[in-house]
Structure 1
Amino acid sequence: MTDLTKLTAVEIAGLVAGGETSAVEVTRAHLDRIAAVEGRVHAFLHVDTEGALAAARAVDERRAAGEELGPLAGVPVAVKDVLTTKGVPTTVGSKILEGWRPPYDATIVQRLRAAGTVMLGKTNMDEFAMGSSTEYSAYGPSHNPWDLDRIPGGSGGGSAAAIAAYEAPLAIGSDTGGSIRQPGAVTGTVGAKPTYGGTSRYGLVAFSSSLDTPGPCARTVLDAALLHAAIGGHDPRDSTSIPQPMPDVVAAARLGATGDLTGVKLGIVSEFVGEGAEPGVMAAFHESVDALTKLGAEIVEVSCPHFKYALPAYYLIAPSECSSNLARYDGVRFGLRVGDDGNRSLEEVMSLTREAGFGPEVKRRIMLGTYALSSGYYDAYYGQAQKVRTLITRDFTAAFEQVDALISPTTPFVAFPIGARTADPYQMYLADLFTIPTNLYGGPGISVPCGLSEGLPVGLQVMAPTMADDRMYRVAAALESAVGTFTPPAL
């Protein structure tokens, strides 16, 4: 009998639509898989067994009634715990929201339900999406299915780990500085950051409002494109949502899968070639460049001189916005409340609540951001970082006048052992060295597996102009057609 957990989303949807299996059978297979491996992987913070089976039954009833099903109907999906889900716990990986059950669904969750997908539950993440390893989750780290002693990336390591461990064929992540792409790279899965404003932030618990971008995670490029198409598009409830149609990312992925990149010009960012990257990562990247050349792509080197300032600029802008966004967690309106015994002032309760509710990385970034925004320092730090952001945007604009898309390694290194970098925040921040520029610019980026280094996955990143998400899917699918997909050792 076919192992339903090993199928792609496209294959599952086809079987459900054709009546060869039921959505309930598919859902139960994935719930059984979660029960079997979750103790070792810890990809989920909450598994919604009853809700998932109810959604699956609804899909089967629609098919039995003769309704035409959508391209992802009956396909299970895991959702990063940064998106609000009505009646289902949303903690953002933090003790300060432990047990909180939102009264509404995020727009993306609404669209997933409308598409007929089956939400299995909420995945683990670094607290408030601040981290690159999922080690900053208040509920313990997730583990990489390739090596359970290693990190699955962050902040969306739970979503990537769930896919790599065959607990779900699809997942939703959010990308502020690389939190979809970097986990994809180190788990051998596909992770896509859409154009900022191309997917709705309504119901996404905010970390850095000018950077946060929800997007799809999958095991194949076509599956990621189908999920992107299901969740993307204008949302009038999100003031940053782009009021224009999405490009046809599904058609682009199908075109790329033919393996023909004739006429496509790709730029290698010269500032990223060998910039702190492990030799094995660069070797896999260069082999992938050769593969893209054989598919017909023209490869040129492009200079983006201000990319080298992206990391420090990001770590002023993101903490500043985090300092503002997290001010709402005051122990009064919702969430955790500590010390409210009737004998303490509001300020004391607020202080005790934040001390108990926020973890070390969140506190670190709040302090950094508050300092950068303080009187006398705003122009010197936050203001200067925004100027650098403008220069980085100009670098992208100039580069896309020469090429159709840019390529680079996704991360400088493969998955590192759990605990290896938590003592040195700067070493942890370097995990997003190659992904951060795209967030500062606002354009789309995708990580696709391109090889192995020391038996661990390496990802190649494709970056495209804003609202040209279809370009990155075409290139990624073409590379996938040449190098194939990568399967972790059996758990």
Structure 2
Amino acid sequence: MEELVRSMAEELLGRGAVEDEVIRETAARLEGLVARLRAFGEEVLGETLPAIAFDPGHPAYHAAPGLPVAALERLGTAGGTGYGAARPAAPPSGTEGAGTGSSREAAGGDRERSTRAAGSWAAPGRRAMAGGPLAGVSAGELVEAFRRGRLGVEEVTRAVLEQVETLDRDLRAFVTVTAEQALATARRRDEELARWRRGGGGAGEGAGGPGALFGVPVALKDLIDLAGVPTTAGSRVRAGHVARESATVVRRLEAAGAVIVGKTATHEFAFGATTDTPFHGPVHNPWNLEHSAGGSSGGSGAVVGAGLLPVALGTDTGGSIRIPAAACGTVGLKPTYGRVSRHGTVPLSWSLDHTGPLAGTVADAARVLEVLAGPDPLDPATVPATAQGLVEAAASGAAGDLGGVRVGVLAAWARDRIHPEVEQAFAAALRHLQAMGAELVEIGGTGPGEADFPAAGVLTLVNRLLALAEGGAYHAATLARQGGDYSREVRIRFELGQFLLARDYLLAQRLRTELARRAAAVMARCHVLVAPTLPIPAPRLGQATWQPEGAGAEPVPEALIRLTAPFNVTGQPVLSVPVAIGPSGLPLAIQIVGRAFDEATVLWVGAALERARGPLRG
């Protein structure tokens, strides 16, 4: 029995045969990660400092890399992330517990399934969600319509709430709908707009008129505090917890005139890639209700993908904004680490967590980030700079001219266990970029060049160790009091994280410093990098594994984070943009990775690609 299992047997084993087996399997994965990290050797890192106060724009992370590629190759691939298999599928929608604004229990389920790379990926009898009232309508267009008096804020808010009540019976994306609060805010917005027209003032208005998100309905992932409303974090542990004050990002949304309409479902404490938990049940994909919306911000991805809202907020620790964005056909923006405050948001991993928008368009993602960005004395990770000119950058990109832009292609990532539909969509996106004047430069995964980008597996290994250690520390006291209120899989991950030594945690942070330097060295040669967001289309609900051609079966949760988790380690800004609808009828996306704090270029390239792609829906 592995050393780690022996050391924890007295506390964790003995809960039953099934749970003991899950503990042993998860512990073995963690033991493998730690063993590879320790075998890598502290002597290789030398005097490298740990990335504790991580600022990806700091010159320390732009120094010449101190590790040769050969040393990094000793770590090998991740060989398991600790996520393991997906939960079995929940019953079809409409079963016991369904209902907007309530917590939903998913009982029973299908046997876990494995799906091959080729052949029928989509579930039979696919049921595409009908478009919501704001499908194809951007936040910018709404603000202009309100300003010109063509629409009323209360009128639009009521229409949205009515459609949420109808469509969310199948989608199951909302945990709480704040209808009364939203309508009260909408009425205030209409009154403020009337005063502005008469020459007065009001909340959410700039010197030139209504604010950037005036009257725009917005939903929040249920990790983000809204005063007077429960924040459950997708867990029974926090059932009944009501936020006393709103998160910094919520206050900034409201100051810009937004109307908060509710809280969306998250995987339990954001520690999962499918947004399928016993507390709420699965969130369904708006393109095919038999498929997952991804996670952990699956509820936010689903409401935007269904056209219910133009914008929602999510968080991203290993891909949790970009995964549901790709699965649901929306834009998802993970800003640079430190760009947006996390105060008032339930953490998963302090040094990896990011907050950002999921939106229907690149321009809307830019608009929201301009509102959210800026220093916050309540979040010491935030940097002094604000984010200006992002909407203009997206508008420039929409002109379709990428002349002079050097695009680094993470070719090795795009060839490693990639579904054929994703391969084809990625190749088509590269052709679009080239046709718009971009220069494509192939970047190796772990090749002989000193400036090659670190392998995805190495970066993911560091991501998982940091998330396990920091998550385990955050939940230690609650686990002791309410361990039985966690779902089995999430509880075990947090319990195992408490067995990581400080030595291992700091080793991972020191390795992070070197990986960030190597990433910065690559970015000195390119304006952006591109890679698929996900290696597979959105999986079926409850799907456990998929079968890549010429490789062993891969657990779906591990596949979903394989290409996204690396950039939480480097802290770079990343934009996921849908580029096609595949033969299975599901969206496919690529991610555009920028230099630290250069969201403008990322949005420019993303908007150009969005224009070349054309509308996703006919």
TM > 0.5 fold call: yes
CA drift of 1:395 comes to 2.4
Structure 1 residue runs of 5 or longer lacking an equivalent are: 331-346
Query: Separation in 2 of the partners of 1:440 and 1:116?
Result: 33
Determine if contact 1:195/1:469 at 8 Å carries over to the other structure.
Answer: yes
| SS of residue in 1 equivalent to 2:365 | helix
Query: Separation in 2 of the partners of 1:177 and 1:414?
Result: 18
Equivalent pairs, count: 461
Q: State the match for 1:354 in structure 2.
A: 483
Q: State the match for 2:117 in structure 1.
A: none
Q: State the match for 1:324 in structure 2.
A: 473
Instruction: Note closer, same or farther for the CA distance 1:396–1:364 as it changes in structure 2 (3 Å cut).
Output: same
Q: State the match for 2:378 in structure 1.
A: 237
Q: Does 225-234 or 175-184 show the bigger shift?
A: 225-234
Matched, 1:108 2:249: yes
Q: State the match for 1:150 in structure 2.
A: 291
| SS of residue in 2 equivalent to 1:200 | coil
Instruction: Note closer, same or farther for the CA distance 1:292–1:483 as it changes in structure 2 (3 Å cut).
Output: same
Counterpart of 1:329, as a letter, is T
Matched, 1:307 2:456: yes
Counterpart of 1:473, as a letter, is L
CA drift of 1:385 comes to 2.6
CA drift of 1:137 comes to 5.7
Q: State the match for 2:218 in structure 1.
A: 77
Query: Separation in 2 of the partners of 1:314 and 1:289?
Result: 28
Query: Separation in 1 of the partners of 2:162 and 2:411?
Result: 47
Q: Does 119-128 or 66-75 show the bigger shift?
A: 66-75
Q: State the match for 1:338 in structure 2.
A: none
Instruction: Note closer, same or farther for the CA distance 1:482–1:47 as it changes in structure 2 (3 Å cut).
Output: same
Q: 1:248 aligns with which of 389, 398, 422?
A: 389
Q: 1:418 aligns with which of 529, 536, 541?
A: 541
Query: Separation in 1 of the partners of 2:132 and 2:588?
Result: 27
CA drift of 1:292 comes to 0.5
Q: State the match for 1:394 in structure 2.
A: 517
Query: Separation in 1 of the partners of 2:292 and 2:460?
Result: 21
- Larger Rg: 1 or 2? 2
Q: State the match for 1:25 in structure 2.
A: 155
CA drift of 1:329 comes to 2.4
CA drift of 1:328 comes to 4.3
Instruction: Note closer, same or farther for the CA distance 1:430–1:387 as it changes in structure 2 (3 Å cut).
Output: farther
| SS of residue in 1 equivalent to 2:466 | helix
Q: Does 418-427 or 78-87 show the bigger shift?
A: 418-427
Instruction: Note closer, same or farther for the CA distance 1:133–1:419 as it changes in structure 2 (3 Å cut).
Output: same
Quick one: percent identity of the two aligned structures? 38
Query: Separation in 1 of the partners of 2:515 and 2:456?
Result: 6
Q: 2:171 aligns with which of 33, 41, 45?
A: 41
CA drift of 1:415 comes to 0.5
Q: 1:198 aligns with which of 324, 335, 339?
A: 339
Instruction: Note closer, same or farther for the CA distance 1:3–1:415 as it changes in structure 2 (3 Å cut).
Output: closer
Query: Separation in 2 of the partners of 1:253 and 1:135?
Result: 34
Instruction: Note closer, same or farther for the CA distance 1:324–1:120 as it changes in structure 2 (3 Å cut).
Output: same
Instruction: Note closer, same or farther for the CA distance 1:485–1:181 as it changes in structure 2 (3 Å cut).
Output: farther
Determine if contact 1:130/1:361 at 8 Å carries over to the other structure.
Answer: no
Query: Separation in 2 of the partners of 1:263 and 1:364?
Result: 50
Q: 1:448 aligns with which of 557, 563, 577?
A: 577
Query: Separation in 2 of the partners of 1:478 and 1:159?
Result: 24
CA drift of 1:425 comes to 9.3
CA drift of 1:288 comes to 0.4
Query: Separation in 2 of the partners of 1:308 and 1:205?
Result: 27
TM-score for both structures, normalised by structure 1: 0.91
Query: Separation in 2 of the partners of 1:154 and 1:83?
Result: 15
Matched, 1:225 2:366: yes
Determine if contact 1:444/1:469 at 8 Å carries over to the other structure.
Answer: yes
Counterpart of 1:370, as a letter, is Q
Query: Separation in 1 of the partners of 2:335 and 2:606?
Result: 14
| SS of residue in 1 equivalent to 2:257 | coil
Q: State the match for 1:483 in structure 2.
A: 613
Query: Separation in 2 of the partners of 1:428 and 1:310?
Result: 16
| SS of residue in 2 equivalent to 1:266 | strand
Counterpart of 2:182, as a letter, is A
Q: State the match for 2:322 in structure 1.
A: 181
Q: Spell out, residue by residue over 1:316-368, the C-alpha distance to the aligned partner (whole angstroms, 9 max, x if none).
A: 110110001112426xxxxxxxxxxxxxxxx6xx2xx221x211232122123
| SS of residue in 1 equivalent to 2:282 | coil
Q: 2:357 aligns with which of 216, 219, 231?
A: 216
Q: Summarize the alignment of residues 360-399 of structure 1 with structure 2, pairs less than 5 Å apart.
A: 360-373=488-501, 378-379=502-503, 381-399=504-522
Q: Does 124-133 or 421-430 show the bigger shift?
A: 421-430
Matched, 1:289 2:430: yes
Q: Spell out, residue by residue over 1:219-260, the C-alpha distance to the aligned partner (whole angstroms, 9 max, x if none).
A: 110011111111111112111111123242111111111111
Q: Spell out, residue by residue over 1:375-423, the C-alpha distance to the aligned partner (whole angstroms, 9 max, x if none).
A: xxx43x4344334322321221111111001000001101111111289
Structure 2 residue runs of 5 or longer lacking an equivalent are: 1-130, 202-208, 445-452, 547-552
Q: State the match for 2:122 in structure 1.
A: none
Query: Separation in 2 of the partners of 1:483 and 1:8?
Result: 17
TM-score for both structures, normalised by structure 2: 0.72
CA drift of 1:11 comes to 1.3
Q: State the match for 1:118 in structure 2.
A: 259
Determine if contact 2:287/2:328 at 8 Å carries over to the other structure.
Answer: yes
| SS of residue in 2 equivalent to 1:91 | coil
CA drift of 1:277 comes to 1.1
CA drift of 1:35 comes to 1.0
Q: 1:63 aligns with which of 182, 185, 193?
A: 193
Q: Spell out, residue by residue over 1:46-81, the C-alpha distance to the aligned partner (whole angstroms, 9 max, x if none).
A: 000001001111110011112421121001001001
CA drift of 1:265 comes to 0.4
